[in-house]
Amino acid sequence: MIRIAVVGAGQWGPNLIRNFHNRRTSEVAWVVDRDAGRLEQVRERFPDIQLATDPETVMADGRTDAVVIATPTSTHYALARRALAGGKHVLVEKPITADSTEAEELCSLASGAGRVLMVGHVFVYNPGVQRVRQLLAAGELGRVYYVSMVRTNLGPIRVDVNAAWDLASHDVSVANYWLGSAPLAASAVGGSWINPGVEDAVFATLRYPNDVLVNLHISWLSPRKTREITLVGDRRMLTFDDMNLSEPVRVYDKQVTEVRTPAPYIDSFASFRASLREGDITIPKVALGEPLKAECDHFVECIVDGKPPLTGGREAATVVRALEAVQRSMRAAGREEPV
């Protein structure tokens, strides 16, 4: 039984507490939040969990095996560093930090101490996202041309990081996982209307190896919750809609079948369509399951079996470097920046 301390019981922390307090493979021994009001709510739901307002209480507790950090991004580095220095395994929420040097330092600390450092890139544990990766690995789409990702909602509006750090961290982790590589360059523009200097909406394009483009439309200032992704390959195309719980993935047997050079003179609708192939649309079966539960189970497995996490510090640092390039590009009015 792995004994866990969860630091941060705001909007997201309670989901981590629920999943880790299963008393099968792990139990939450402590919840820490500097807001005593939040702790009172935890006490009502889980009277058996010990509570503290100072993270130092758990960092010094020799019976705590792992610290799970669900506080704002700006606090991740200091808390993760302290936990690793205290010999704890660490699961820190995404993004690991907003600075790649700090992220790398955490990786070195974890490997030096022989501790697991995992980051909550929860979408990598989403069964639909994993199914898409299988389809890509099996060559179902052929060569990938581009990926378009839309992630919008109204809120939550952050003040310590912009929408790219908060939301695009999910998309970059998914794109890296699917494509098996990291972006080479990024160009982006963003707008800040609610809090000066904190972008509410970001439109970014990432250039990956093999001429793959990944486009991101990110906003916490939008009327509708959207999580839609389109992948276009030279053999097939695919859509992923995370809001469609039962049938998130659709594979379109569509492609451009012939490219004639020079293009023939075509002026009829029928002959134009002849150069485009439109076959069946199939809906691959995707197992139902809570991605966060899979993430939490994976963290415990990594501690027990000593295996490297799917979303470890190194993978997370790659996401941070991409987001740093997005940030630089936004400050340079959209100029393409190397990652």
Ligand X SMILES: NC(=O)c1ccc[n+]([C@@H]2O[C@H](COP(=O)([O-])OP(=O)(O)OC[C@H]3O[C@@H](n4cnc5c(N)ncnc54)[C@H](O)[C@@H]3O)[C@@H](O)[C@H]2O)c1
Binding site for ligand X (CB under 6 A): 7-13, 32-35, 38, 55, 70-73, 75, 93-94, 120, 122, 156, 166
Nearest residue (beta carbon) to ligand X: 10
Tell me whether residue 16 or residue 214 sits nearer to ligand X (CB atom).
16
CA distance 73 to 249: 31
**DSSP-assigned states of every residue in 57-118:** HHHT-TT--EEEE-S-GGGHHHHHHHHHHTT-EEEEESSS-S-HHHHHHHHHHHHHHT--EE
The distance of closest approach from Cβ of residue 230 to ligand X in the complex, given in angstroms and rounded to an integer, is 21
Residue type, 168: A
Tell me whether residue 83 or residue 212 sits nearer to ligand X (CB atom).
83
Q: Which residues contact 250 (CB under 8 A, 6 or more apart)?
A: 238, 239, 241, 281, 282, 283
Tell me whether residue 225 or residue 273 sits nearer to ligand X (CB atom).
225
The distance of closest approach from Cβ of residue 81 to ligand X in the complex, given in angstroms and rounded to an integer, is 12
State CA 215 to chain mean position distance: 15
The distance of closest approach from Cβ of residue 56 to ligand X in the complex, given in angstroms and rounded to an integer, is 10
Tell me whether residue 49 or residue 141 sits nearer to ligand X (CB atom).
49
CA distance 218 to 309: 27
User: Between the CA of residue 244 and those of 191, 195, 225, 283, 298, what are the distances in Å?
Assistant: 29, 32, 12, 12, 25
The distance of closest approach from Cβ of residue 318 to ligand X in the complex, given in angstroms and rounded to an integer, is 17
Tell me whether residue 81 or residue 250 sits nearer to ligand X (CB atom).
81
Tell me whether residue 55 or residue 312 sits nearer to ligand X (CB atom).
55
The tokens of 198 are what?
Answer: 């904190």
Per DSSP, the three-state class of 147 is strand
The distance of closest approach from Cβ of residue 338 to ligand X in the complex, given in angstroms and rounded to an integer, is 26
The distance of closest approach from Cβ of residue 215 to ligand X in the complex, given in angstroms and rounded to an integer, is 21
